[in-house]
A and B are shown apart, each in its own frame.
Chain A
Amino acid sequence: MHRNKKAAFFLLLPIGILMILLVFYPILVTFYNSLHEMNLIRLSEMRFVGWDNYVNVLKDRGFQDAIVNTLVILIAVTGITLTASMLEALMLQRDHKISKVLTAIAIIPWALPPMVNGIIWRFVFYPGYGLINKILYNLKWIDAPVLWASDRWTTLLIAAIIVAWRIVPFCAIVLLSNLQSIDQELYEAARVDGANKWEIFRSVTLPLLLPSMGIVMTNITIAGFNAFDELVALMGYREMGQTIMMYNYTQTFSFLNFGLGSAISYIIMLGSGVFAYFYIRQLGRSQR
C-alpha cells in the first residue's frame, strides 16, 4: 500500500506541477492584480486600489453592453442548437442507406477550427453579394444586397448561428447515442396503447433524453459564453456587438491595463461559476 502511494505521487507529479504553475498560481495572482492599478508599460507604478477596478468595470457602459450581447448569443445559440441537434439526431437515427455518409458529414463542422468557421460564414453573410444575398436576389426577394452584420442585433444573431453550426454535431451525437439506448419495447407499448407519433415523442422520447440534456446544455453554455474566434473572424475587434470575452481581451491587451483586465476576468469567472457548479455535478453523476 505504501509503495502504491509513492507510485501515485510520481504518476501525478507532472500534471500537478503544471497545473499549479500554469493554472492555480496564475489565478491567485490574477486576483491580486485585480486589486491594483497596474499598467504593463509602467509596472513600477503598481499601487493598491481595493475594489476600484471592479467598480469601474461594473459601471462601464461597454461592459454592460457586452454582458447583454453575451446573454443574447447564449439564448439564441441555445434555441438554435437544441432544435437543430434534435432534428439531426432523429435524422441520423433513421436507418437510411446513406446513414454512414450523413454521420461523416455531420461531424465536419465540429472538427473545424472556430476561426475557419467564422471565415466561411463571413463569406455567406458578406454584406455585398455574398451567398445569402445572391440566393435572395436570384429568388427576387430583394433588389439590393442586405447589409448583414452591420447592426448590433443581426451581428449577434449571425454569431449565434456560427457558434451553433459548430456545436450542433456534438449535441446531435450525444442525443443520438441516448436515443439508441432507449428500449424499443417502450415504443411498442406506447403504440399498442394507441399513442400517435407526436405523443410518443413527447411522452416517451423526450423524458428519456433528459440524462444527455445536461451534457448538451453545459456544452451550449460553455460555447456561447466563450464565443470569441468566430466573432473576430466575422467583424474584427470592433466594439459594437462584442462579447464579454472580446471586451476582456481588448480592455486588457489594447490598453495593457492588467489590473482592470484581471478584474474583468474575475467577474466573468464568478459569473460562470454558477454554470461550472452544474457542469461538475453533471459529470459527477455520469461517473456513477
Chain B
Amino acid sequence: MKLLERLGSGLLIVLFLVVTLLPIVWCFVISISPESEMLKATASFLPESPTLQNYVSLLSGTGPFQGKLITGMTNTLKAVLLTEAFTLPICIMSAYALANISFRGRTTMTMALLITTVIPVFATIITIYKIYSQYELLNNYIALTLVYVTAYSPVIIWMLLNHFRDFPKEIEEAAQIDGCSRMQSFFRIVLPNSTPILLAAALILFLNTWGAYQIPLILASGRATKPLTMVMQEFSTKDNIYYGMIGAAGILALIPPGLTAIFFRKYLVSGLTGGAVKG
C-alpha cells in the first residue's frame, strides 16, 4: 500500500513535469532547428544539426525580419518602465487613502474600482481608440501607459489596501507621538515595512505589461510601436511561415518573465494569495 502510494505520487510528479516543461522544451527545439526541419515529415524529436542561426538573426537585426524583434523588445521594455513608474505611486497613494482615512463614499469608491476589473476590454477600448485617433494619441507610449494604469491599478490597489489596513496602527501612532508628521511616519515607518508587498505589486505589473496584447493591438499597432507580443505574430509571410523564428522569438519573450517568476516566487505567491489576479 505504501509502495503503491509512493509510486502514484511519483507518477503524478513526472506527469506534472512533462505537461509543464515539455511544451517549452519543444519550442526551444524548434527554435534551434534549421528552418522548419522539425515540422517536416520525420519521426525524430531532435534536429540533425542544431543551429543558433534564428537567435543570431533576430538579435543582430539581420535576416528577413531585420530589426523587428529588437524594436518590439525595446517597446515592451519602455511600456514596462512607464507602467511601473506611473502605477506604483498612484496605487500607493490611493490604497493608503482608502485604507486609513475615513470619508464619505470610501466603500463606494473601493467597490467602483473593483468592479472595473471585470469589465471586458472592448467596452472601453473602442471609445478610447476613437478619442485617441482624434487627438493623434495612437502609437503614443504615454497614452498607452495611461490605459495600462487604469487596467492594472484596481487589483494592485486592492492588494496594497489590504496590507495598509492590516498594518499595526500603534506603530504609526507611536511615531506621530514622537513628533513625526503623518507623511513622515508613512515614508519612514510604513513604506520601508511594506517592501515585500510592493515588490509583489511591481512584479505583477511587470508580468502583465510584458504580456499585454489586446490593448496594444488596438492602441499601438504602428510599425515602430508594436510590442514584442505583436511582433511574434508577424514571422509568417504570404509565402512562408518561419517557425524557427517564431519559436526563437517565443523563447526570448518567455525568458524574462520565466526567470522573474522562478527567482521571486516567494513574493508572487504571497501576492497571489493576498488577492491579486493577473490578467
Minimal Cβ-Cβ distance residue in B for A276: B118
Given A128-B41, A219-B277, A252-B122, check contact A115 B211 (CB 8 Å): yes
**Which of A5, A119, A233, A286 makes the CB contact (< 8 A) with B275?**
A286
B73 in contact (CB, < 8 A): no
Interface footprint category on B: 35 or more
**Smallest CB–CB gap between A209 and chain B, Å?**
14
The answer to whether B119 touches A23 (Cβ under 8 A) is yes
Contacts of B133 in A (CB 8 A): 40
Which of B20-28, B54-62, B168-176, B194-202 forms contacts with chain A? Answer: B20-28
Interface of A: prevailing SS: helix
Contacts of B246 in A (CB 8 A): 119
**Smallest CB–CB gap between A45 and chain B, Å?**
15
Contacts of A165 in B (CB 8 A): 19, 23
Minimal Cβ-Cβ distance residue in A for B26: A131
The answer to whether B90 touches A15 (Cβ under 8 A) is yes
B85 in contact (CB, < 8 A): no
* C-alpha spacing A124/B147, complex, angstroms: 34
**Smallest CB–CB gap between A238 and chain B, Å?**
14
A interface footprint on B132-158 (CB within 8 Å = 1, 0 otherwise): 010000000000001101100100011
The answer to whether B257 touches A111 (Cβ under 8 A) is yes
**Which of A26, A102, A130 makes the CB contact (< 8 A) with B16?**
A102
The answer to whether A265 touches B123 (Cβ under 8 A) is yes
Minimal Cβ-Cβ distance residue in B for A115: B229
| Interface residues of A, Cβ cutoff 8 Å to B | 4-5, 7-8, 11-12, 14-15, 18-19, 22-23, 25-27, 29-30, 33, 40, 87-88, 91, 94, 96, 98, 102-116, 119-121, 123-124, 126, 128-131, 134, 137-138, 165, 170, 173-174, 177, 215, 219, 222, 225-226, 228-229, 232-233, 245, 248-249, 252-253, 258, 261-262, 264-266, 268-269, 272, 275-276, 279-280, 283-284, 286-287
| Interface residues of B, Cβ cutoff 8 Å to A | 9, 12-13, 16-17, 19-24, 26-27, 30, 38-43, 45, 90-91, 93-94, 96-98, 101-103, 106, 109, 111-128, 130-131, 133, 146-147, 149-150, 153, 157-158, 162, 182, 207, 210-214, 217-218, 228-229, 232-233, 243, 246-247, 250, 253-254, 257-258, 260-262, 265, 268-269, 272-273, 275, 277-278
